[in-house]
Structure 1
Amino acid sequence: MTIGKIAWDDTVLPFQLDLSDIRGRVARLDGVLNGILAQHDYPEPIEALVAEMTLLTALIGETMKLRWKLSLQVQTRGALRMIATDYFAPEAEGEPARIRAYASYDPDLVTKAPAYDQLEDGYFAVLIDQGPGTTPYQGITPLAGGALARCAESYFAQSEQIPTRFELNFGNVPQADGSFHWRAGGVMLQHMPKASPFAKDGGTGEGGLLRPEDLLRDDDDGENWRRVNFHLDTVDELELIGPDLPPTDLLVRLYHEENPRVFDAQPVRFGCTCSEDRVRQSLSIYSAKDIAHMTTPEGLVTADCQFCGAHYELDPQTVGFEADK
């Protein structure tokens, strides 16, 4: 099956199920994902992990009252060393949010095993930076559950104590011209925050981690959560990534009895904040002697952006805190 560009690609649609006190997001990524992956030549399992992290970043970033940047990170001792993603809030109403991502890995350790098997003994982290004059927030949870989506659910249960569910699909799908193109789609559900958690003595997840169900009593809230998740379990993988079912129609199919209410979709784009000025700023802590050690035989100080691949060449006399003014 081939899938072409469709109108709701690269958007995140917020919705609310008022009868169940549950909110959510539907995301469809196309150009964003290909913009990120085209910068690198990752092995297939690493590409899949970056795709999953990018999709999670889009869904989580849109849920937050973000003034500047949300970052997700995974660090492990396995074949995958690290994935870092950034979600930059829209600079003005109606403008797109921007996402970037990159991965580092040991090519000698990458196998043909499933993507998550490339991870070992690591953690999943969420970092929120609201800009100058604020203190960045960081929350960390161990890798567990067999998928990055399960790690994200564990983070929300452990750190935010908000029941959260992700249902994702992503892949490199064939196009009409015979080429392949990455697409991703997913649904995020969150029970509206409560005054206090109900789980007191550890959770039922791997290693005693909290799971979404551990935070809900066996009452109307718990029943609503189970019912809404039961319907999400019926979603078809192709329904998540398109092309024939708009996100609004997907919500009606899944939750017509819940009276879903949708809000304006948030467009997202691939975007990087690197610049020559930022490179110069990062080098400003080094002395002329340090800069000399960084200088190439061609007499240049060079830097490459790991996110977008931009290459910078600078005169060593003009960088560092002893630079010629």
Structure 2
Amino acid sequence: MTQGTQTAWDDTVLPFQLDLADVRGRVARLDGVLQDVLRQHNYPAPIEALVAEAVVLTALIGQTIDLRWKLSIQVRGDGPARIIATDYYGPTEDGQPARIRGYASFDPDRLDMEADPFTQIGEKGYFAILIDQGEGTQPYSGITSLTGGSLAACAEAYFAQSEQLPTRFALSYGRSNEPGRGERWRAGGIMLQHMPKASPLRKPAEGEFKVTPINVDVLEDGENWARANILLDTVEDMELIGPNVTSTSLLARLFHEEEPRIFDTQNVVFGCSCSEDKVRQSLSIYSQKDIAHMITPEGTVTADCQFCGAHYVLDPETVGFKGDKPPGF
């Protein structure tokens, strides 16, 4: 196995390629970043599980894209788990970490604590991937229905239907007890994709030309894709989560006959993009009359970030589209 730099495996995404199978992939190991996402809210167990699964998917998918700003996953349903939302912000400079945040909106009175978490999303809804490359670009979005009994299955269906990219995920997440660290959340996952495809979600290898998407079933190496899937099916939950099995050891165990080639890891951290300026901008659509209805008994306008819990306190005279903006705004 060839590889780039050595690194600690927690809170990283490791890109790899199976040279003998025309398959590329990612291994994600999340520890502190997942803990930081979940500690922002006191979620009940089923909601924690849904957010954890969404965060792992976001880390895996976000790292495959030539991303200049943000990738988002949004899940909406008619069940007690109304919204699951995550964001992945690409590194601003080489060597910098990517940032992930996430939150959920749910109805605690309707939540079934004993049911499978995915069923709490409901039967009617959607799974969406949205990409925003920043100012001056047209955002990209794709949607698929809720299917397959998990968010990972929804993501697989999305790539198959919207991107014509045969894709597989194997995920595991949960609370672990490690000596000296107490109970904390850990998660891990593997993503496989058949390589010779063109897509706005595809990050081409250096020097590679994009080609017209075709069905993997007609490819001569379709057996390679099938074999990679069979090998992935042998992975165990504790291998995915770690921490006693490194990402490289896991790849060697699963795919050693496919000659896995690995690349430099991408570090990920918890990070939120909220700010007072953005809160003011979101309030700029309201008139002073509207703002008056938002004033607290203390005479201020307040706002809380759904992702990180940041609390903003503003002077009502400085917000709204006729408000007196603070100096430098």
TM-score of the two chains, using structure 1 as the length reference: 0.91
CA distance in 2, matches of 1:241, 1:155: 25
Whether the 8 Å contact between 2:22 and 2:196 is mirrored in structure 1 is no
Counterpart in the other structure of 2:16: 15
Structure 1 residues 61-94: Cα deviation after superposition (integer angstroms, max 9, x where no partner): 0000100000000000001000110000001000
Q: What aligned pairs does 1:83-122 form with structure 2 within 5 A after superposition?
A: 83-111=84-112, 112-120=114-122, 121-122=124-125
Counterpart in the other structure of 2:222: 222
Q: Is 1:141 aligned to 2:144, yes or no?
A: yes
SS at match of 1:230: helix
TM-score of the two chains, using structure 2 as the length reference: 0.90
Cα deviation, residue 219, structure 1: 4.9
Counterpart in the other structure of 1:168: 171
| Aligned mate of 2:155, from 143, 146, 152 | 152
Q: Is 1:182 aligned to 2:179, yes or no?
A: no
SS at match of 2:156: helix
Counterpart in the other structure of 1:231: 231
Partner amino acid for 1:184?
Answer: A
CA distance in 1, matches of 2:93, 2:182: 36
Counterpart in the other structure of 1:211: none
Q: What aligned pairs does 1:35-74 form with structure 2 within 5 A after superposition?
A: 35-74=36-75
SS at match of 1:235: coil
SS at match of 1:56: helix
Cα deviation, residue 193, structure 1: 3.3
Partner amino acid for 2:237?
Answer: E
Q: Is 1:256 aligned to 2:259, yes or no?
A: no
Cα deviation, residue 257, structure 1: 1.0
Cα deviation, residue 290, structure 1: 1.0
CA distance in 2, matches of 1:243, 1:298: 49
Q: What aligned pairs does 1:313-324 form with structure 2 within 5 A after superposition?
A: 313-324=313-324
Counterpart in the other structure of 1:208: none
Cα deviation, residue 117, structure 1: 1.5
SS at match of 2:159: helix
CA distance in 1, matches of 2:39, 2:213: 42
Partner amino acid for 1:92?
Answer: E
Ranges of 4+ aligned residues in structure 1 off by more than 4 Å:
195-198
Counterpart in the other structure of 2:128: 125
Cα deviation, residue 173, structure 1: 1.6
Cα deviation, residue 221, structure 1: 2.5
Cα deviation, residue 249, structure 1: 1.1
SS at match of 1:104: strand
CA distance in 1, matches of 2:111, 2:253: 40
CA distance in 2, matches of 1:254, 1:301: 55
Partner amino acid for 1:244?
Answer: N
Cα deviation, residue 220, structure 1: 3.0
Counterpart in the other structure of 2:270: 270
Cα deviation, residue 196, structure 1: 4.7
Cα deviation, residue 294, structure 1: 1.0
Q: What aligned pairs does 1:284-303 form with structure 2 within 5 A after superposition?
A: 284-303=284-303
Partner amino acid for 1:231?
Answer: L
What 5-or-longer segments of structure 2 have no aligned partner?
A: 1-6, 198-210
Cα deviation, residue 40, structure 1: 0.4
CA distance in 1, matches of 2:237, 2:47: 21
CA distance in 2, matches of 1:232, 1:220: 21
Structure 1 residues 88-111: Cα deviation after superposition (integer angstroms, max 9, x where no partner): 000100000000000000101111
CA RMSD of aligned residues (A): 1.4
SS at match of 1:12: strand
CA distance in 1, matches of 2:177, 2:257: 36
Cα deviation, residue 18, structure 1: 1.4
Identity between Structure 1 and Structure 2 (%): 66
Structure 1 residues 208-244: Cα deviation after superposition (integer angstroms, max 9, x where no partner): xxxxxxx422653320111011111111111101112
SS at match of 1:98: strand
CA distance in 2, matches of 1:229, 1:159: 21
CA distance in 2, matches of 1:268, 1:100: 10
What 5-or-longer segments of structure 1 have no aligned partner?
A: 1-5, 199-214
SS at match of 2:250: helix
